[in-house]
Amino acid sequence: MPREKSAPGTDLEQRIEEEEGLIGASADEAGDDEQEEILAEASDEDDREPETGPLQRGRDIIREFTKLAPESPGCYRMLDNAGNVLYVGKAKNIRKRVTSYTRPEGHSRRISRMIAATASMELVTTSTETEALLLEANLIKRFRPYYNVLLRDDKSFPYILLTKDHPAPAIAKHRGARNQRGDFFGPFASAGSVNRTITALERAFFLRSCSDSVYESRTRPCLLFQIKRCSAPCTGEIALDEYNRMVGEARDFLSGRSTAVKDHLVRDMQAASDALDYEKAAVLRDRLAALSAIQSHQGVHPRNTEEADVFAAYQHGGITCVQSFFVRGYQNWGNRANFPRADKSLGVEEILGPFLAQFYADKAIPKLILLSHKPDEYDLLVEALSEKAGRRIEISVPQRGEKSELVAHALQNAREALERRLAESSSQLRLLKNLAETFGLPAAPKRIEVYDNSHIMGTNAVGAMIVAGREGFAKNQYRKFNIKSPDTKAGDDTGMMREVLKRRFKRLLEESPRNGPNAAGAETATAPAGETAGETPWPDLVIVDGGLPQLNAAREVMAEIGVGEVPLLAVAKGLDRDAGRELFHIAGREPFRLPPRDPVLYFVERLRDEAHRFAIGSHRARRSSNIGKSGLQEIPGVGPSRKRALLHHFGTLQAIEQASLADLGSVPGIDARLAKAVYDFFHAGG
């Protein structure tokens, strides 16, 4: 196990250390003059040589740590004055690697800037270099250092689960730890591909997708039975033996025995047709069509590759796209485009190694990994992934045959995904420039924060902040604020906006002082966790949902906590709340409207609508949580007996929330007036 010389550390590829660090990659690149402008902005800091003083001081600090550095494998972290992790590296010999940073010359500008910003180091020894690589990947994912290659979108992949803990197994989408009894199939590249596959499997095998509590409470078949997507074992419409036979067929299909399953259905269909049982033959025909629909969405159909992950990397304009495909049971379960943050000087071979190490840090590793390029430190990567998987892993760069075709297909998808991203970034930059001109900003904003509130008559009040920039919405930086100050009156929208902004900017001042290294416009070597490297957490524009009262409240908050001038814009809904007739309020200008077809108007509407969606979603989540704690009795007119009637009829609180007005009215003891009260409680606009 690792033995820590200092505090726990972070990790990165050895080759990257020796060569260079990374920029906080901006994917805002296009194939025209705008692309060159963005790349120039991204590299401005890199072209400035650090002053001799800080650079020499950084070397001296590192030199002191070389005296304590062991001559053994391990990881090291370089920290700035605030304790932020600048870089994580691994080495076969830590002392030799750390000593290389003390050389007076031979470093790139970027590495020189990293050395100049270094105020401390932390060292962690490991038993082997393989263990160091695995530790490095985990630490990078944890600390997200500015100078490392970063896997930016690292969400878990969904699986299909066929349960084994119930007499009538269910089919479900599953994410996270696989600790439930059942068979897991995947990973799938996206929730959409899982949902399509589950829908098709329901049509092909009539499997139930309801929860066990709903299953137990059913007294009549649900709608899925009526539309022929479930065989309704809950009410005995099918015998459990027959139902489990179809579950077995579904398991065989997902395990790669799709040909045998389809051949069996074809034989049964032909037999039914020969017996003149055309109704049964039609049902079997529809089941075959559903299975064919699953495979039609898979794009490529591996014939000889049972299990593999395929990665192909394509570079253009300093941006790298790594396209991933997942093959399981001779079937393609979808693809995903990844855009790792990496310095534009690094080649795909230098990026693929750190990318794969981070990608598999918390994911199951298949028997075979197919790549478009051979990564640096190939042998070490194979050894590390094999050790983590507990079996021998093959990493191959195929040159011919089916596997080569799979990689070529992934590479084509990587190129197309990168071209789309560059085109979208070009349009986004044009919009931001037009927005700056329209609202009198000094430059196109890199970070826009939009605020909104949601509540029902002051209850369960929630404030929401969304973030947008040159790469679109930054959903990992969204924040919600439960309104909790006793000074904020229930239902006071202006007071809620004041509380949200005060809490947000007070914390921002504490974490990134306005005049500190992370202030807007200041040079910085690091970015706070969760922020895009190279940019600051300070917004270039704040948009609040509301009119002049909200704008004045925002200005008062900024003045009160002393954050200086932050551009503020209030967006008031138009007459009759019509989209396209919004009234804009800016300090020092008369309220104004934009032309109905102005692209900037559409853009601001999209930002406002996203903030509204996030605020309502946060409010509903809080309201549902409170209902779960206080009971349905929170709804006027619903007491313990009616609560029991609703739960007995629908099974779960979620089912009650999703029920139609007619379904609520059909519950014994719930009249039309009370049904409407329940429906309105769950479907209020917020």
615-628 tens-digit pLDDT: 887 767 766 665 55
Number of domains composing the chain: 5
Q: Assess whether pLDDT exceeds 80 at residue 144.
A: yes
Segments forming the whole domain that contains residue 326: 307-419
pLDDT above 90: residue 381:
yes
Confidence of residue 10 (pLDDT cuts 50, 70, 90): very low
Sheet order of strands, 331-338 included? 331-338, 319-328, 307-316, 368-371, 394-396
Domain assignment present for 523:
yes
Look at residue 367 and give its three-state secondary structure.
Answer: coil
Q: Are 320 and 422 in contact (CB under 8 A)?
A: no
| pLDDT reading at 416 higher than 80 | yes
pLDDT > 90 in the chain, percent: 24
> In terms of domains, do 467 and 609 share one?
yes
Beta strands at 307-316 and 368-371: parallel, antiparallel or unpaired: parallel
Among 65-69, 630-634, 675-679, the minimum mean pLDDT is found in: 630-634
Together in a domain, 13 and 121: yes
Residue 619 in any domain: the answer is no
Better-predicted residue by pLDDT, 208 or 333: 208
Say if residue 361's pLDDT is above 70: yes
Residues 520 and 374 in one domain: no
178-192, 222-236, 548-562, range with the lowest pLDDT: 178-192
- Structural domain includes residue 592: yes
- pTM metric for this prediction: 0.64
Q: Is residue 621 part of a domain?
A: no
| C-alpha torsion sign, points 305, 307, 308, 309 | positive
Q: 36 or 462: whose pLDDT is higher?
A: 462
pLDDT above 70: percentage of residues in the chain? 82
Bridge-based pairing of strands 479-482 and 85-91 is: unpaired
Higher pLDDT among residues 260 and 582, named by residue: 582
Final residue before a domain boundary, out of 579, 613, 647: 613
Question: Residue 301: inside a domain, yes or no?
Answer: no
| Report for 300-304, 369-373, 389-393: range of highest mean pLDDT | 369-373
Residue 641 buriedness (CB in 10 A; 0-12 / 13-18 / 19+): exposed
Provide the β-strand partners of residue 473.
Answer: 468
Reported as half-sphere exposure (CB side, CA atoms, 13 A), residue 619 has a value of: 27
| DSSP 8-state secondary structure symbol assigned to residue 173 | E
Same domain, 360 and 466: no
Average pLDDT over residues 637-660: 76
Q: Which residues contact 617 (CB under 8 A, 6 or more apart)?
A: none
Q: What pLDDT is stored for residue 578 in this prediction? A: 59
> Are residues 10 and 67 located together in one domain of the fold?
yes
Averaged over 125-149, what is the pLDDT?
89
Asked if 249 and 351 sit in the same domain, the reply is: no
pLDDT reported for residue 598: 86
Q: Which range has the top average pLDDT, 3-7, 34-38, 276-280?
A: 276-280
Instruction: Give yes or no: residues 477 and 587 share one domain.
Output: yes
The amino acid sitting at 204 is A
Work out the mean pLDDT of the chain and round it to a whole number: 80
Q: Are residues 187 and 223 in the same domain?
A: yes
CATH of residue 647's domain is 1.10.150.20
626 within domain boundaries = no
Better pLDDT: 285 or 21: 285
Identify the residue with better confidence: 257 or 387. Answer: 387
**Is 150 part of any domain?**
no
Whole-number pLDDT of residue 109: 75
Q: Which pLDDT score is estimated for 253?
A: 83
Beta-carbon contacts of 521 under 8 Å, excluding residues fewer than 6 positions away, are 536
Residue 623 lies in a domain: no
pLDDT tops 70 at residue 531: no
Confidence (pLDDT) at 298: 52
610 or 629, which is more confident? 610
Say whether pLDDT at 7 is over 60: no
Pinpoint the alpha helices (H) of 118-168.
129-143
Residue 304: which of 274, 281, 272, 327 has the closest Cα? Answer: 327
602 plus 456 within the same structural domain: yes
CB-CB contact of 231 with 170 (8 Å): no
- The reply to whether 182 and 118 lie within a common domain is no
Identify the CATH number of the domain in which residue 471 sits.
Answer: 3.30.420.340
Give φ, ψ of 682 to 5 degrees.
-85, -15
Kindly state whether residues 454 and 575 are assigned to the same domain: yes
Same domain, 137 and 7: yes
pLDDT value of position 496: 86
Q: Residue ranges of the alpha helices (H) in 440-518?
A: 493-511
pLDDT of residue 633: 60
CATH of the domain at 353: 3.30.420.10
